[in-house]
Amino acid sequence: MSDSPQYPPVPPQAAQSGLSDTAAGALAYITIIPAIIFLLVEPYNKNSFIRFHSWQSIFLGVVAFALGFVNVIPILGQLIFLVGMLALFAAWIIALMKALKGERYELPIIGKYAAQQAGA
């Protein structure tokens, strides 16, 4: 017999639920792929905050894609493309930072559509 004290068994820890809401919301802005995954995967697609940021990220990507077609037009189209892409980059940074802070920031025009899609 050993003289060491007997401790009760340690209960197993509950499985972590994955990313925090703010991390998932911000990660949705990295590319369109995490945004789509968050809309499909179970614990994240039930969260209104994550769905909102995922949809807003997808709509930002759609606007950037559409803006790419304007780049085909010589000079004026390329100028519009440059200014538009700079504006989208600024909007992307703002949305990413707001998501990291846990805020639901609606970008002009596409924000209301993202809110409708997220059911918020």
Count of Cβ atoms closer than 10 Å to residue 33 Cβ: 9
Which residue bears the tokens 């059911």?
A: 119
Express each pLDDT in 99-117 by its tens digit. 999 999 999 999 999 999 9
Domain boundaries, the chain: 21-118
Instruction: State the chain's maximal CA–CA distance in angstroms.
Output: 89
What residue type is assigned to position 57 of the chain? S
CB 27 within 8 A of CB 52: no
Alpha-carbon torsion 83, 88, 90, 91, what sign? positive
Question: Is it the case that residue 56 has pLDDT exceeding 70?
Answer: yes
52: Cβ contacts below 8 Å, ≥ 6 apart? 25, 104, 114, 115, 118, 120
Confidence label for 14 from pLDDT (cuts 50, 70 and 90): very low
What residue type is assigned to position 70 of the chain? V
Question: Is it the case that residue 13 has pLDDT exceeding 70?
Answer: no
CA 69 to CA 57: how far, in whole Å?
A: 19
Q: Quick one: pLDDT at residue 3?
A: 62
Region 60-76: mean pLDDT is: 93
